[in-house]
């Protein structure tokens, strides 16, 4: 019996990195990750195809809805807070832009909102320490510093974007440089891989002879479900491979320098395909006093940039320059926020100062924490979208 238990526990131990992983298991995981990644790329193509089936009337209605930048911002916040994934929101936005249902200018505020919405996860994780006063204070400060940085970046850059078109113009220029060289048109190899399956699925739905609206809705629905499921599985698979090593690495390396911490946050977010995983991992360590708020902050900044890789990958799957443009705008927004707040020590202290103020407030009244999450991420965005 003991030998059977030992044998059956080997894969689980290997998953945690406690024993050497067999070659067959490693190859199986690699094949599984590639399969899930293909499903993700396929989902982007399906949503783009579905939106095109809807036609011009749907595109015009959606463009008119997001023409108000503040509505677009709150839509991004609310959607991301509800599904707990900025990668999903931004990938959908990339599909909208690729299909021509949203312009790049209208999509930029939605992407900004998704950046704000993704920070709710780390704040929710901090509630796990609510019964221990001093731990909760440190955990809530570590959770909300990400929220406050994203909020302050939007407060500064959204007006700048509306007045100057800084992100739109610069991302258009960069996308143009990347997608067209010496008159050659941009051809995405990823789109070529997914196009046959995508076309077969669309043809199969059209064979049902439904109305145009139902056909488009069904294709978009299949794509959206596939997108969410594939991102969930991709994040879980990658997280299982590196999470235990990630925790030890953070403890040893993050405190060495701020720039290194930013790069670590970026690198591991790219690996696990989720900024929420990276930032949430900081919360227990901050609560235990292993990491200070000053050490947590740059990791969150790096995670913001790392999460833009998902949108860039989605844009390559579409083969559309406009899709690449909005993905680059997302990346440039996060890089601009880092350049704005991190290099100058006085600016760097602003998000941390407000995070510490909020942590003092939740220690005095612990009901303030859930109220803060409810109001900032759900009530205000929901009411703003409803009434505008």
DSSP letter for each residue of 7-32: HHHHHHHHHTTSSPPPHHHHHHHHHH
Residue whose pair of structure tokens reads 């080997």 in the numeric block: 10
- 323 assigned to some structural domain: yes
Assign residue 219 a region: left if phi > 0, alpha if psi is -120 to 50, beta otherwise?
Answer: alpha
Longest CA pairwise span in the chain (Å): 72
Q: Distance between CA atoms of 79 and 89, rounded to whole angstroms?
A: 7
Q: What is the pLDDT of residue 184?
A: 39
Tokens of 163: 């007045």
- 127 assigned to some structural domain: yes
- 130 assigned to some structural domain: yes
Mean pLDDT of 185-200: 67
The pLDDT of residue 224 is above 90: no
- 16 assigned to some structural domain: no
- 238 assigned to some structural domain: yes
Mean pLDDT of 181-188: 47
Percent of the chain with pLDDT over 70: 79
For the whole model, what pTM was predicted?
Answer: 0.73
Find all residues with CB under 8 Å of 309, minimum gap 6, and list them.
Answer: 269, 270, 273
Q: What is the pLDDT of residue 301?
A: 92
Mean pLDDT, rounded, of the chain: 78
| Between residues 245 and 325, the one the model is more confident about | 325
- 280 assigned to some structural domain: yes
| Between residues 277 and 371, the one the model is more confident about | 371
Instruction: Look up the domain containing 28 and give its range.
Output: 22-387
| Between residues 74 and 205, the one the model is more confident about | 74
Tokens of 322: 């406009």
Mean pLDDT of 188-214: 74
- 8 assigned to some structural domain: no
Instruction: Using alpha carbons only, give the angle 272, 171, 60 rounded to the nearest 5 degrees.
Output: 95
- 2 assigned to some structural domain: no
Find all residues with CB under 8 Å of 370, minimum gap 6, and list them.
Answer: 127
Please name which of 56, 95, 89, 97 lies closest in space to residue 73, comparing C-alpha atoms.
89
**Cβ 194 vs Cβ 313: under 8 Å:** no
Number of domains into which the chain is organized: 1
pLDDT tens digits, 308-324: 888 888 887 777 788 88
**pLDDT-derived band at 231, boundaries 50, 70, 90:** low
């Amino acid at each position: 019996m003991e030998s059977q238990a030992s044998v059956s526990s080997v894969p689980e131990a290997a998953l945690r990195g406690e024993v050497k992983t067999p070659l067959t298991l490693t190859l199986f995981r690699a094949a599984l990750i590639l399969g899930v990644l293909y499903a993700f790329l396929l989902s982007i193509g399906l949503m783009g195809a579905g939106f095109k089936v809807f036609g011009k009337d749907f595109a015009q209605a959606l463009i008119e809805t997001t023409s108000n930048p503040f509505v677009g911002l709150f839509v991004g916040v609310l959607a991301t807070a509800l599904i707990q994934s900025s990668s999903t929101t931004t990938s959908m936005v990339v599909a909208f832009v690729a299909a021509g249902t949203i312009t790049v200018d209208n999509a930029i505020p939605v992407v900004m909102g998704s950046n704000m919405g993704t920070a709710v996860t780390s704040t929710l994780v901090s509630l796990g320490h609510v019964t221990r006063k001093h731990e909760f204070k440190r955990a809530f400060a570590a959770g909300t510093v990400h929220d406050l940085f994203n909020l302050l970046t939007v407060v500064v850059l959204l007006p700048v974007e509306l007045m100057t078109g800084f992100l739109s113009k610069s991302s258009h220029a960069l996308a143009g440089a990347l997608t067209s060289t010496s008159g050659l048109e941009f051809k995405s190899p990823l789109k070529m891989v997914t196009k046959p399956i995508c076309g077969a699925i669309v043809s199969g739905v059209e064979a049902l002879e439904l109305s145009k609206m139902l056909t488009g809705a069904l294709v978009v629905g299949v794509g959206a479900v596939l997108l969410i499921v594939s991102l969930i599985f991709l994040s879980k698979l990658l997280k299982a491979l590196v999470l235990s090593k990630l925790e030890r690495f953070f403890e040893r390396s993050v405190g060495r320098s701020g720039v290194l911490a930013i790069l670590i946050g970026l690198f591991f977010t790219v690996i696990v395909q989720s900024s929420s995983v990276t930032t949430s991992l900081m919360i227990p360590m901050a609560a235990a006093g292993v990491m200070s708020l000053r050490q947590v902050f740059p990791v969150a900044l790096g995670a913001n940039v790392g999460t833009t890789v998902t949108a860039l990958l989605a844009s390559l799957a579409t083969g559309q320059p406009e899709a690449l443009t909005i993905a680059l705008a997302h990346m440039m927004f996060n890089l601009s926020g880092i350049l704005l707040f991190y290099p100058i020590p006085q600016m760097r202290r602003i998000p941390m100062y407000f995070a510490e103020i909020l942590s003092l407030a939740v220690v005095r009244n612990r009901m303030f924490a859930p109220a803060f999450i409810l109001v900032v991420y759900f009530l205000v965005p929901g009411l703003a979208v409803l009434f505008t």
